[in-house]
Structure 1
Amino acid sequence: MTLPRHMAGDRMRRLALVDAASAAAAASVVLPCQLPTRAVRRAALFSSLISGRASSGLQPTPTQGSPAQRVLELPSLSYGDTPMSPISARPSTPDTSWMDVENASSRRYGSRGPRISLDSGMRLRRLREALNEPAFTFHSKVRPRRVITYVQTTPGVDPKPLQDLLRAEAVRRGWEVRAWQELVDRHGPQAPQASEQWRKARKLMHEGFADGVLVLDRSHISPDDAEYEVELWFVHQRQCFTALVNPESAAS
């Protein structure tokens, strides 16, 4: 039976639409073998993680965000009867006392051997010797070194024995002492700047009439460490020296 031309055209259009719908449905179906490899691995990993947590008693709990987001609650730890969180289970302040002991030992026993703390007498002696070195390095070939002898006594005490001792010591060292360079302070212990005779000794060294000063021990200048050190620096800055018959360590 032959259909009219207009009916045959409608039938062909319906068959074309059915074929197109079938092709679209077939294209929308994706087989498991067609999934990307990374997506398959991610799904398998997530599935194994969920199954493992479920078997150990851990239950997934949804967060405040999207329903698809999941977090796992860790069980609380306990130490005796006191519950502890996973963060507080680790000690907050580790024991570092061993570091203090090691540092103290390293400071005492360094690469140069044991360190011995110096007393004030030994420290001042080393300082004086270091400050005297420039003055002793230079030596005039024309004249000997001119030195002041300074004695500090109390009223009523004869200074002559000390003056003779200092004069003999100067001669032994090859220094020259003139009569007007023998200074005696009879007012007893006092600050160096308060002594008229010590101020005279400073003036002679400052003006170049003496190369240094010689005393029996540091107590004749000052028993105070700070005052004594100031005078050492003053003499050094005038390119002169401070000499002692009895060094600081022996006098201390």
Structure 2
Amino acid sequence: MTTSQSTTHTQPMGGEDCSHYWSKKRLERLRKSLNTDAIISRAGARVVLYVKTLPGEDPTPHFEQLRSKARGRGWTVHHEIHDDAGGIQPAKSEAWHELLTILGGGSAQGVLTPSYRHISIDPTYYTNALDEIAEYRCFASLLIPEPST
């Protein structure tokens, strides 16, 4: 039997409620683990500030907090992206694709966002998004880490 034919699943199948499977602490460990391969995650990094809101919601307070953290870390803000797509998964968001284009082009080494919820509230989509960032050897940083459950 090949791996793809295995009857044992290590993660939930698509469409299932996976909140019981993914603990927030596990998501934080995954993000930190993926960040270890980033080219730069210390002072001198260029970052993209990424804020996802509901349509019509003001992103300004989020961007102010993100700018402050970037300054405190010695990071240069390369670009700011406001995604007003609300709960849409990252793979279907034009703003998310813009972020990946910037990271893939080497113009920035990381993304700074207020919380994991600004990327996706769905743990599977969030994990996939972290993997996409890591593929470019870039890091993800959050103002508020993933909470323990």
Which residue of structure 2 aligns with residue 153 of structure 1?
Answer: 53
- Mapping of residues 1-252 of structure 1, within 5 Å: 120-135=23-38, 138=40, 144-178=44-78, 181-249=79-147
Give TM-score scaled by structure 2 length. Answer: 0.79
CA distance in 1, matches of 2:105, 2:118: 22
Which one scores higher on RCO, CA 8 angstroms, separation ≥ 6? 2
Question: Any stretches of 5+ residues in structure 1 without a counterpart?
Answer: 1-117
Q: Per the alignment, do residues 139 and 243 of structure 1 end up closer, same or farther by CA in structure 2, a change over 3 Å counting? A: closer
> Larger Rg: 1 or 2?
1
Question: What's the secondary structure of 1:144's corresponding residue?
Answer: coil
Shift of 1:156: 2.0
Secondary structure of residue in 1 paired with 2:85: coil
What is the one-letter code of the residue matched to 2:90?
P
Q: Contact 2:22/2:123 (CA < 8 Å) preserved in 1? A: no
Q: SS in structure 2 opposite 1:135?
A: coil
- Alignment root-mean-square deviation, CA: 2.1
Which letter does structure 2 place at the counterpart of 1:148?
V
Distance across 2 between alignment mates of 1:234 and 1:121: 19
Q: Greater strand share, 1 or 2?
A: 2
Task: Give me the whole-angstrom Cα distance separating, in 2, the residues matched to 1:214 and 1:232.
Answer: 12
Q: Hey, what does 1:51 align to over in structure 2?
A: none
Cα distance per residue 1:189-239 (max 9 Å; x no partner): 111011111110011111111101001001111111111111111111111
Normalising by the residue count of structure 1, what TM-score does the alignment of the two structures yield?
Answer: 0.48
TM-superposition CA deviations, 1:49-93 (whole Å, max 9, x none): xxxxxxxxxxxxxxxxxxxxxxxxxxxxxxxxxxxxxxxxxxxxx
CA-CA distance at 1:240 after TM superposition: 0.3
Partner Cα separation in structure 1 for residue 110 and residue 121 of structure 2:
20
Give 4+ residue runs of structure 1 displaced > 3 Å after superposition: none
Whole-angstrom distance in 1 between the partners of 2:87 and 2:77: 24
Cα-to-partner distance string for 1:86-138 (whole Å, 9 max, x where unaligned): xxxxxxxxxxxxxxxxxxxxxxxxxxxxxxxx9610001001101101226x5
CA contact (8 A) 2:90 2:120 kept: yes
Unpaired runs of 5+ residues, structure 2, are: 1-20
C-alpha distance 189-238 of structure 1, shift in aligned 2 (>3 A) = same
- Aligned residue for 1:183, secondary structure, equals strand
